[in-house]
Structure 1
Amino acid sequence: MLALRGQVYMKNSILRCLSTSPSLTGENQKYKLLIVGGGSAGCTMAAKFGKHFKKGEIAVIEPADTHYYQPMFTLVGGGIKKLSECGKPMRTVLPDKVKWIKGSVTEFKPHNNSVTVLNGDEITYDFMIVAAGLQLNYEEIPGLVEALNVPNTGVCSNYSYKYVNRTYEILKQFKSGNAIFTYPNTPVKCPGAPQKICYIAEDYFRKNGIRDKVNIIYNTSLPVLFGVKKYADALWKVVEQRDIKVNLRRNLVKIKPKEKIAVFQNLDVPEELTEMEYSMLHVAPPMSAPNSLKKSKDLVNDLGFVNVNKDTLQHFKYGNVFALGDCSATPNSKTAASVAAQSDIVYQNLLALMEKRPLKGKYNGYASCPLVTGYGKCILAEFDYDLNPLETFPISQDKEMWLMYTMKKDLMPPLYWYGMLKGVWNGPGAVRNILHLNMKK
């Protein structure tokens, strides 16, 4: 009986593997639509197009077992949410009709309408959506990986599910000294996140009676505090009121974990290096397009991002290829809200292409960044390609508001899981039109 149960278990296990991955078939596969990436953009596009295709005509290539709602990581780092609330099994966020190929793309061959996955299999397609996200390059800062993987170094990072719990643990253990927060000299997903945790930490120290024992420092590689002037002006008032020291054009280049010293480069005077002692160091790591994309020179620009038209999101050279999300070369802020807006444009234009109609969808660069400035406080920044405010509510959103904080904490997560990932939420454009009585802003 035990032997029979073992055989049944083994058979079921094999069938489960075959249902999600080509790795055991040894066969090349062909799909009408191939989506590379199972993050926010990939899952959203799978949901939208899943309604139009038969089972087996769409595939998503994604190696991860768990899909994370990454915008919540900031709240996990501040002890507001738990990591367990951020993730769901990948299979549950993909439509049943969509084939999940559990693996990674190692090579893109757009001239052959194919990609190669890690096990060597070749996947071919009629149309492809690239939604591969950004790659976190922790190893590029000497000492950082070591510091993140041993206790009592005071180093944390909200950007990975592997390390985000360390942030709140360090906050709770903090007694006194320098608390330093960094922004890297690379493209960044959710550009507001590195300073959000800075504000949350400051509020935490204040609420726990140790603010006078802490020097809070925000070192950013950027020449500005925030890219949109309206919100930058508001944030400068926040840092001045709360005595947060901001150093512009400062880039973290090395960590000495044993000595608890961080080394920063002055990007305006590259030979100038400054060592700073820390008790807490929150690091936003260097980021880039995935290595597999960067190798595909005719698919990407010089920085490795998919070279698409910023309006239509269609590839300039390969018309059957579209890209959205963090891996695209569009000059917008890389946020989940951007993906929501882009997803409808890709959906409209790819359907039009398939039906041999003109591509009429135009992406305006919409991005949103709920800038959490403490417990119960948030500035909701919304803007377009030209960095002009594009606000949903008929009020000026450059103020710290409890309403915006509640939206970030309680409304946006279910809107993500049950709206965006189901293919029915395209961002607040329609809501904005209603609230502003269809008047252009």
Structure 2
Amino acid sequence: MGKSYLESHPDENGYFGRFGGSFIPPMLEKPFADITKAYEEIKNSPAFIEELKYVRKHFQGRPTPITYAKNLTTHCGGAKIYLKREDLNHSGAHKLNHCMAEVILAKHMGFKKVIAETGAGQHGVALATAAAYFGLECEIHMGEVDIAKEHPNVVRMKILGAKVVPATHGLRTLKEAVDSAFESYVSQADTAIYCIGSVVGPHPFPMMVRDFQSIIGIESREQFFEHEDNLPNNVVACVGGGSNAMGIFAGFIDDKEVELYGVEPMGKGEKLGEHSASLTYGSEGVMHGFNSVMLKDEKGEPAPVYSIASGIDYPSVGPEQAHLNDIGRTKVGLCNDTQAIDAFYKLSQLEGIIPALESAHAVGFAMQLAKQLPKDQTILVNLSGRGDKDIDFVVENHPIPNAKF
């Protein structure tokens, strides 16, 4: 019997097909090689596995449930919509799945400090949470625009003991936060570890983060049978870098009968700078240490991007997402700002669940898809995070509907 997809990807150099790899300055080659070696050592270690199981059950609150969105399904009038409730994971999103594991890895390697970027702040909160739990220092880089937009998460990071560093150059959003974090890490690589917040960056991070997030898909595969006694026909997740998508896709990637949709943010329009739809409008290129598909300006540099959701306004996509789309295993879904806000309020008022704006993109696309499919079809949405962080921004810019739909 041959190896499964997850066992055979990436290759030893960190490539998923032609995407991935490690494009880093010479001074970082040894630190990243050390991280790769340490991960290979501990990933099958009974002690590591048991510690992670303990943390997930007794601290994170896993497994998270799957909820049938009955009222939303009735509203859409088509396929049944189910939600994998990562919003119920401790700290409010899927990000803690890999942050706890990355900090265990840091502890194993003898580091006392973790450094990271964050967009919407969920990765920053999750890493600050993990660092507090394990007693490490934490430094989080965040774009000035996102600091203002996602103020509640900034406060949470600071309460948890993290140092929040504003990224003040360029568009002052997620790409610039990554730039700033990498620059800081270079000067501290001997004493700190960079905990990348998605399935992006140089090898081994796309692989590591996918592996740590795969718990979502593993749980979902078992849980869905409790609802339907079958696999879902469709699995939907939003894609910026793509960690929540790879997490849930991992459970179904070898099941060819299950359609996998990665939903990109179409923002305000099709012009460059109005969206963050890398797979839809991008081309191959290297950024932040990995080769993938990216949005480029006329000079071939990373283009300006936009999304109402701070966690997915990134000009590239994880290399594995690029590979799976390239070979036709995944499909691209699109959801614009208006559709995301509509989904935000509909899920809130029809189901009593306030989603993160990132997750609202997946819900918005699922609503479109459900209307096109017969009632005997099923859609499983990865509800990657809750919307506490977004409520002030949303109600200030998009008035609350005064009645249920």
Q: TM-score range by the shorter chain?
A: under 0.3
Q: TM-score, normalised by structure 2?
A: 0.25
Asked which structure has the greater RCO (Cα within 8 Å, sep 6+), the reply is: 2
Compare the two structures and name the one with the higher helix fraction: 2
TM-score with structure 1 setting the length: 0.24
Q: Which one has the bigger strand percentage?
A: 1
